[in-house]
A = this chain, B = another copy of it.
Amino acid sequence: MIKKTVCLTVATLVFTMPEMTAQAQSDIVHDAEYYILVAQNAEKWAAEDKALDETLAAFREKNGGKPPNIIYILIDDIGFGDLGSEALNSIRGYSTPAINEFAREGMRLARMYTEPSCTPTRVAFMTGRQPYRNGMGNTSVDISGFGLAGKEVTLAEILSESGYNTSHVGKWHMGDIKEAWPNFQGFNYAAFPIHQQGQLTIFHDDAADEEVSIGIGANNYDDRYTIDGWLRTDASSMVTGVEGVRGENPREVHMKPGERWNETKYHEMNVRYQQQAKEQLRALAEKNEPFFLQYWPLYPLTGPRTTTDQYTTPNGGIYVEKMKLVDQWIGELMAEMDELGVADNTLVIIMGDNGHFTKYSPQSGFTPMIFRGGKGDTTEGGVRVDAFVRWPGIIEADSVVGDIVHVTDLFMTIARLGGAADLIPTDRIIDGIDQTALMLNGETHGRRDYVFIYNINKLEAVVKEQYKLAIPGGNLDNAILADFFDLFRDPQEKYPVSTEIGAWGGAKFVRMIQRHMARKAKYPDEGPAVGIPYEGIENLRPETKTAVEEFLFMMNTPKL
């Protein structure tokens, strides 16, 4: 690999942004790079926005004065190219017919970037901010005592304030403290597990029995050397699924004191969320206000095979089987929309949250295919996902756009479509960019040509147009070793073009990072909110209370 010479040290990142407000859209505070684009495109965009506002006004008029409903379906750990294409399906030996059909009914966002793992992508969508800014670049599988701060302003909150009814069903994964939960973050109704699939699919007896996680189960480990009995927190002692309404304490469901969590219960939880997603859809559709429904399935992530009665795909991978099920479920939800008559006045987004969980390749049935890397990587395979948007009559059916989009852009775009843009806070950086123009006017109408790709709190890659600077280990002092890639000519980032464009791009990208860092100096990153795990859950089981006590004792040992 050819190494190149981007001279970049923290010491050089000192000059500050000139004051820019004139051409910036409203008072929203953006990252530095956006102002570069505004300086060059403001006039064109303003004209375009005027026409877009007219289109949106016309829609509202036709829709009884209401903005569109929003449904956001986020699928866990699925790589780019796994959904929405029969041709690509057939390479893998399985099929996702419902999502394929959906893709043809709407627009394919072929260059959608997320964060490299579950929590940060979800935080980015909900807040319009990349999660290194609010300490949410990562969460724990286990009891952790931190989460998304109440002072973060979520899309659910601003849509709610604008008159939307809001519901969340499925994975949440933004912390085990009360202020982080969806029913305290703008949702009128929420059904969700406090933790994630690490707990729900691995830390239980069935997984231990199948040697997925030997030692965690009740009977799968010989404890003759055990001195610290607190080491092995198992799924059953943690809170599992809860349900609650806005501002009120939630309750754990479907777990009795002393009951053991297992694969069957995980499957039942998945089935329940599917049912609840449909129920919420029906309930929301009946009301007179616009609605915002989030459905974030837990499947395709799964653990052992105990719930798989039979193989239904030539691939046979355990995630692939569950992906097929999720596809079928999404098909049912779309059919329900047709039946309820809300297909035409609803914007639906279906997308992945990050690349494959390659730790479980190839048994999962999935390995990276088009891009390199998976979940946790900042190569394109970690952060490029399948993404489809449907809004009949407004967004062109069967269309494809290659413009860059980041998941935070959905926050901005939906806020605008929902008439909630004025409620976006102006005291912090919003990374999202309004992409209404792209969705309504199509290819080449995108308003972003860059992405800063962080791995938790480290900047590991910078994308601008078709170029990507990869910074090994996120060490900016070491960026002299950075490689350049041309993503159009080399989507798998295997042929660095450093020597060819380093002399030009080195300076450009260094200045880009400098601008970004200067902006961070003005709006510093913060940590997450911290608190007592599970506080506010009404019906904690005795074993859960014990687990929290153990956790708090362990957390307090430094202070003892």
Contacts and interface: CB of A to CB of B under 8 A. Distances in A.
Interface string A88-118: 1111111000000000000010110000000
A367 B402 contact: no
A312 interface: no
Interface in A200-239: none
B401 A488 contact: no
B93 A108 contact: no
Contacts of A494: 367
Contacts of A441: none
Nearest to A108: B87
A365 interface: yes
Contact of A402 (B93, B320, B370): B93
A497 interface: yes
Interface of A is mostly: loop
A276 interface: no
B492 A90 contact: no
A87 B400 contact: yes
Interface string A56-96: 00000000000000000000000001001111111111100
Given A362-B495, A497-B362, A489 B367 contact: yes
Contacts of A489: 92, 315-317, 320, 361-367
A402 B85 CA distance: 13
Contacts of A363: 489
A93 B488 contact: yes
Contacts of A364: 489
A490 interface: yes
A466 interface: yes
A492 B85 contact: no
A369 interface: yes
A491 interface: yes
A486 interface: yes
Contact of A488 (B365, B492, B497): B365
Copies in the complex: 2
A393 interface: no
Contacts of A85: 85, 87
Contacts of A365: 488-489
B315 A488 contact: yes
Contacts of A492: 367-369
A202 B91 CA distance: 35
A367 B490 contact: yes
B87 A361 contact: no
A314 interface: yes
A195 B382 CA distance: 44
Contacts of A91: 110-111, 370, 402, 488, 491
Contacts of A486: 362
Contacts of A110: 87, 90-91
Contacts of A81: 370
A175 B459 CA distance: 55
B491 A367 contact: yes
A176 B517 CA distance: 64
Contacts of A466: 93, 314-315
A67 B494 CA distance: 48
11 contacts: A84-B87, A90-B400, A91-B110, A91-B491, A92-B488, A315-B488, A316-B489, A362-B490, A363-B489, A366-B489, A369-B491
